[in-house]
Amino acid sequence: MYLYNSASRKKEVFTPREEGRVTIYTCGPTVYHFAHIGNLRTYTMEDVLEKYLRYLGYDVDRVMNITDVGHLSSDGDTGEDKMLKGAKREHKTVMEIAQYYTDAFFADCNKLNIRIPDTVEPATNCVPEFITMVSELLEKGFAYEAGGNIYFDTSKLDKYYIFNDFEEEDLAVGVRDSVEEDGNKRNKADFVLWFTKSKFEDQELKWPSPWGIGYPGWHIECSCIARKHLGEYLDIHCGGIDNAFPHHTNEIAQSESTFGHEWCRYWFHVHHLNTNSGKMSKSKGEFLTVSLLEEKGYDPLVYRFFCLQSHYRKNLVFSWDNLDNARTAYNKLIARVAQLKAGGDVDSNVFAEAKKRFTDALDNDMNTSLAVTALYDVFKLTAGDATKLALIEDFDKVLSLDLIAKAAKLNEKDEQSDEGAGVDPELLAYINSMIDARRAAKKEKNFAEADRIRDELLAKGITLLDTREGTKFSING
């Protein structure tokens, strides 16, 4: 399998350190608010990577942290604490906020069929580990104390900038005007390992340490949590591309300075989800969450399907139109699966050939859109339905689109009402997605849109009828 490694900026053959076993570390959410669907694109693509490695037969050990302390409003270490901000906004304690949004994050993951890593560790569980690593860094001369805080000294490294060619001057420009520079830092790129003093209102959660009562910096938590569960070596580190700098750059600095050797072999970064007005964020434009998609009548798996249709290293543009297209395609796909009849023999030659097209796509740096094409190719095979169903079930171990289960449900629904009987499955899928969209528009009191949808169908000879059991349709002629 070839995987693009952001550290070498090349596709490389993937070889884990230990035969048959892969260790993965994933930066988890900062639990001060709901995850937006841009964050969830990253977790979805990481999920596909993990499931594909399992599909290939590897044992996967994956660890994820939950940031419930220390993440300030800038990814450098300036600004207010995000958790404290969330707690103030909702008049709750920091730990209440952490629990609430951790649960919400896992609920979103479940809806998107994202497997939750076996090991999930909140940062507040690991304070002794943070203190140990900061002490080691001080002992080895990679850290210093200034103004009550402990800083990492980036000038002690041969190479600090791993993922890009930043120079100190570029970094200075990158510092936001509104944020004062920290005069304690010896070098602009230095970052905080442990705070005892902040010029902002203080953390609610603090712990004693050899350097005074305080709390950890954000970056140290991932280095320590990865070490605690996976040791000194890591095969793959995942995250969103915006974490490459400074977060992952700082993780490498901390871990490799502590261990004295290379830490992580492959860096897997998922690119942004953009809207037409730029990168998606919590503070800008519509706050897009899985719950909002559901309110608007979308199955969350439509969003998963939308993500799979593009490569993880390309920015993906989200719009409601794009999502509508994905919904129509997804519904059509399920309708086609629903037409396949179970039973009969699987043709092992055809199966192996089709499977190879699927694995070839994913072996080439996780080309999920080609893998989806391989899935569509299954319908064109010269083989019985049993072979096709077996392939779909097999591919869905990685894609996780619930294709077989949704198709079975659709068949059940068709048996209950013979409304869809004899209708071309593609047409049926189109009508059903239009009915869903109209229901969502009505729910939002957007009656103009609801009428437009009804008229669009009418122009095609399809009449809608609202009944107590829901919207029915009839096809004229």
Helices (H), 32-161: 37-55, 82-90, 94-111, 127-139
Q: Total number of residues binding Zn ion (CB under 5 A)?
A: 2
Task: Choose, by CB under 5 A, the member of 3, 24, 27, 104 that binds Zn ion.
Answer: 27
In angstroms, give the least distance from the CB of 49 to Zn ion. 16
Q: Is the torsion defined by CA of 182, 186, 192, 196 positive or negative?
A: negative
Pick 79 or 212: Cβ nearer Zn ion: 79
Closest separation between CB of residue 251 and Zn ion, Å? 6
Least gap, CB of 123 to Zn ion (angstroms): 10
Count Cα neighbours of 214 within 13 Å in the Cβ-side half-sphere.
Answer: 21
Residue list 39-58, contact with Zn ion (CB under 5 A): none
Residue 242, CA atoms < 13 Å, CB-side half-sphere: 14
Least CB distance from residue 61 to Zn ion, whole Å? 17
Smallest distance, Zn ion to C-beta of residue 398, A: 25
C-alpha count within 13 angstroms, C-beta hemisphere, residue 363 = 10
Nearer Cβ to Zn ion (29/214): 29
Residue window 302-321: x/- pattern of binding to Zn ion, with contact defined by CB under 5 A: --------------------
Q: How far is the CB of 244 from Zn ion (least distance, A)?
A: 11
Give the type of residue at 436.
D
Is residue 252 a contact residue for Zn ion (CB under 5 A)? Answer: no
Give the alpha-carbon dihedral of 450, 451, 453, 458, to 10 degrees.
150
Rounded CA-CA distance 83/101 in Å is 11
Q: Kindly report each contact of residues 87-91 with a partner whose C-beta sits within 8 Å and lies 24 or more positions away, as own/partner.
A: 87/32, 87/204
Per CB under 5 A, the segment of 21-29, 47-55, 291-299, 395-403 that binds Zn ion is 21-29
Torsion of Cα atoms, 329 then 331 then 333 then 337, to 10°: -170
Nearer to Zn ion, 27 or 375 (CB): 27
Q: Which is nearer to Zn ion, 43 or 318 (CB)?
A: 43
x/- mask, Zn ion, residues 173-212, rule CB under 5 A, reads: ----------------------------------------
* Minimum distance, C-beta of residue 247 to Zn ion, in the bound complex (Å): 5
* Eight-state DSSP code of residue 366: -
Q: How far apart are CA 13 and CA 233, in angstroms?
A: 18
Nearer to Zn ion by C-beta: 203 or 250? 250
CB of 27 to Zn ion, least distance (A): 3
* CB distance 207 to 170 below 8 Å: no
Q: Taking contact as CB under 5 A, which single stretch among the options 216-224, 337-345, 369-377, 421-429 is the one that binds Zn ion?
A: 216-224
Using alpha carbons, select from 25, 27, 24, 33 the residue that is nearest to residue 105.
33
Nearer to Zn ion, 238 or 453 (CB): 238
Does position 222 bind Zn ion by CB under 5 A? Answer: yes
Residue 399 engages Zn ion in binding (rule: CB under 5 A): no
Q: Which is nearer to Zn ion, 97 or 222 (CB)?
A: 222
Q: Please tell me whether residue 66 adopts helix, strand or coil conformation.
A: strand
Q: Report DSSP letters for 137-204, one per residue.
A: HHHTTSEEEETTEEEE-GGG-S----SS---HHHHHHHS-TTSPP-TT-SSTT-EEEEES--SSSP-S
Q: Which stretch binds Zn ion (CB under 5 A): 43-51, 222-230, 255-263, 416-424?
A: 222-230
Please check whether residue 268 is in contact with residue 365, taking contact to mean a CB–CB distance below 8 angstroms: no
The stretch near Zn ion (CB under 5 A) out of 16-24, 220-228, 389-397, 400-408 is 220-228
Stretch that binds Zn ion, among 22-30, 31-39, 120-128, 384-392 (CB under 5 A): 22-30
Which one, 94 or 222, has the nearer CB to Zn ion?
222
Residues lying near Zn ion in the complex (CB under 5 A): 27, 222
